[in-house]
């Protein structure tokens, strides 16, 4: 814990966190003004934006669900495990950028960008659920029964409620991802948000945000068993399938554009390739990776702080129903806002530096872990003579939740790392910045190289976090919601 704190302080001392806009408070004031009242009617095709956001999320997550389930069945193979780890290590936005080159601004881009990484995540979680099942019922089976029957009768029914709960959670994440894919040009909420922000129409911004929060907050109502097939059908019908144009571009992209430059040209030599590699690592990959590490470490430390500030807000140990209701609303809003969106807003207010990214990552993840820790305290029973108020916080609650909070935070570190790379699109020089530049310069070979590097970094951080948790003997079983 102290090591982490020291690392964070060192990273903070060397980070660029200046506010560079001319009059940040005035912009903030105008943003707040836009809330009173939000302008729902002025947003062009608000309904269409929501419909597309939901459609992409539904179909993408459903496809990932099925694919992930099938992968999970084969998780005993190391190849499958590695494959799943690799596809989920690349952020959805990176996948989207790649597919934009292959398929253009068509539905397939958005769907695959959601489905592929999510399939990897589903595979891992489903495999864990199946692995942690009680083996007793399987052992009590008659020896002649086939493996498929055994699976259908015993393992699947037991795992089903966990699958359902997790699928709903992933659908929520899918809505967030779908929304921010709009920043890349797809016709979802993010697209309209960017437009509204660019024009300074903050009342429209708030209209979009409120609709988005309402969508996520009511997910349990509209994402019900019988409604899903209908929504599915509707989603299939409204997506503009005619826009798919997989042509010569795609083939050239895969076979020529992404091959490193020195290897494509005439007289390709190993030394030229080596020089290219060295140049990439020295000028782009290393600074980008370092910045991403720096950002993720600072964000993790601040997330830790915010977790301990947030968790009492929804804990029955500290507040009654009314107070907890307010706490819940605050945390739900922070949890539902995608980090990318939060960083984007702060970027407009404060100008480019690491500050928007730090604050965005910390608020979002602090709300998530704070929520998990707060829920964890719900089952705590204290002695009748336990202290109240601040004493209760320091002497009874925090010492008891400390280890679990640490487990959640270490688990979240991998996610923070992933987002840190992507936030390079928004004014901070992490790897995402160099990827964005490479795509803009049509140097796809560099882009792919850097994306592959983020995947490697991600897998590294995941393994480190797992190792630390094992060393501290912290439980790695995270219950989602």
Partner 1 sequence: MNLIALSGATVGYGGAPVLNDLSLEVRAGETIALVGASGAGKSTLLRLLYERAGAAAALAPQDYGLVGNLSVFHNVYMGRLDRRNWIGNLRALVRPARGDVQDVLDVLRPLGLDDLIFQRAGELSGGQMQRVSVARAVYRGAEVVLADEPVSAVDDHQSRDVLRALLGGYKTAVLALHDRALAFEFADRIIGLKHGRIALDAPTVDLQPSQLDAIYAA
For partner 1, the binding residues (CB under 8 A) are 382-387, 389-391, 394-396, 399-400, 402-403
Across 133-164, b (16+ Cβ under 10 Å) vs e yields: eeeeeeeeeeeeeeeeeeeeebbeeebeebbe
- Distance of alpha carbon 391 from the chain centroid: 36
For residue 380, CA distances in Å to 325, 376, 398, 400 come to 19, 8, 12, 9
Output the smallest distance, CB 307 to partner 1, in A: 16
- What is 74-131 written as a DSSP string? TTTSHHHHHHHHHHHHS-HHHHHHHHHHHH-SSHHHHHHHHHHHHHHHHHHHHHHHHH
Choice between 328 and 400, CB closer to partner 1? 400
**In the complex with partner 1, which residue's Cβ is closer, 282 or 403?**
403
HSE toward the beta carbon, residue 451, CA cutoff 13 A:
24
User: Considering beta carbons, is residue 266 or 385 the nearer one to partner 1?
Assistant: 385
CB of 404 to partner 1, least distance (A): 11
What's the CA gap between 417 and 361, in Å, rounded?
10
CB of 397 to partner 1, least distance (A): 9
The answer to whether the beta carbons of residues 77 and 113 sit under 8 Å apart is no
Q: Which is nearer to partner 1, 264 or 403 (CB)?
A: 403
Of 261 and 392, nearer to partner 1 (C-beta) is 392
Q: Which of 10, 366, 178 is nearest to 358 (CA)?
A: 366
Closest CB 383 distance from partner 1, rounded Å:
4
Nearer to partner 1, 14 or 475 (CB): 475
Q: How far is the CB of 389 from partner 1 (least distance, A)?
A: 7
CB closer to partner 1 out of 183 and 308: 308
Give the Cα separation of 127 and 282 in Å (integer).
Answer: 39
What minimum distance in Å lies between the beta carbon of 388 and partner 1?
Answer: 9
Q: Which residues contact 34 (CB under 8 A, 6 or more apart)?
A: 201, 202, 203, 204, 205, 206
**Count of CB atoms within 10 A of residue 122's CB?**
27
CB of 401 to partner 1, least distance (A): 9
With respect to partner 1, which residue has the nearer C-beta, 328 or 392? 392
Q: How far is the CB of 393 from partner 1 (least distance, A)?
A: 9
For residue 34 the two structure tokens come to 């836009």
CB 72 within 8 A of CB 123: yes
Measured CA to CA, the distance from residue 294 to residue 424 in angstroms comes to: 12
Nearest CB to partner 1, comparing residues 12 and 382: 382
Shortest distance in whole angstroms from residue 374 CB to partner 1: 18
Asked if residues 273 and 330 have their Cβ atoms less than 8 Å apart, the reply is: no
């Amino acid at each position: 814990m102290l090591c982490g704190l020291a690392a964070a302080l060192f990273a903070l001392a060397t980070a660029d966190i200046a506010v560079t806009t001319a009059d940040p408070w005035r912009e903030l004031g105008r943003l707040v003004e836009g809330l009173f009242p939000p302008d729902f009617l002025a947003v062009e095709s608000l309904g269409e934006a929501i419909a597309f956001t939901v459609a992409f999320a539904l179909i993408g997550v459903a496809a990932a669900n099925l694919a992930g389930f099938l992968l999970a069945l084969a998780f005993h193979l190391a190849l499958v495990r590695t494959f799943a780890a690799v596809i989920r290590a690349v952020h959805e936005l990176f996948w989207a950028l790649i597919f934009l080159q292959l398929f253009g601004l068509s539905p397939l881009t958005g769907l695959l960008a959601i489905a592929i990484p999510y399939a990897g995540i589903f595979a891992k979680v489903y495999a864990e659920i199946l692995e942690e099942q009680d083996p007793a019922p399987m052992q009590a089976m008659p020896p002649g029964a086939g493996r498929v029957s055994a699976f259908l009768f015993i393992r699947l029914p037991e795992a089903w409620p966990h699958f359902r709960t997790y699928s709903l959670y992933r659908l929520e994440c899918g809505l967030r991802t779908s929304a921010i894919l709009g920043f890349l040009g797809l016709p979802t909420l993010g697209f309209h948000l960017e437009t509204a922000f660019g024009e300074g129409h903050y009342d429209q911004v708030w209209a979009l945000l409120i609709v988005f929060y309402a969508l996520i907050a009511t997910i349990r109502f509209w994402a019900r068993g019988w409604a899903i097939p209908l929504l599915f059908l509707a989603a299939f019908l409204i997506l503009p399938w005619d826009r798919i144009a997989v042509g010569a571009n795609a083939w050239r992209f895969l076979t020529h554009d992404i091959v490193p430059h020195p290897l494509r040209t005439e007289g390709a030599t190993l030394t030229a390739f080596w020089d290219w590699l060295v140049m990439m690592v020295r000028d782009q990959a290393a600074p980008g990776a370092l910045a991403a590490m720096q950002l993720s470490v600072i964000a993790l430390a601040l997330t830790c702080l915010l977790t301990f500030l947030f968790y009492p807000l929804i804990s029955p140990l500290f507040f009654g129903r009314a107070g907890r209701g307010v706490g819940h609303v605050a945390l739900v809003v922070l949890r539902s806002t995608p980090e990318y969106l939060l960083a984007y807003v702060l970027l407009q207010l404060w100008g480019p530096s690491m500050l928007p990214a730090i604050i965005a990552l910390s608020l979002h993840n602090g709300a998530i872990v704070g929520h998990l820790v707060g829920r964890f305290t719900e089952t705590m029973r204290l002695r009748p003579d336990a202290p109240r108020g601040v004493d209760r916080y320091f002497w009874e609650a925090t010492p008891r939740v400390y280890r679990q909070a640490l487990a959640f935070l270490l688990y979240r570190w991998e996610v923070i790392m992933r987002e840190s790379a992507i936030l390079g699109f928004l004014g901070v020089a992490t790897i995402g910045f160099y990827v964005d530049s490479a795509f803009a310069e049509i140097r796809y070979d560099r882009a792919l190289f850097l994306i592959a590097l983020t995947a490697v970094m991600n897998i590294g951080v995941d393994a480190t976090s797992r190792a630390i948790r094992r060393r501290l003997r912290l439980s790695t079983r995270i219950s989602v919601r």
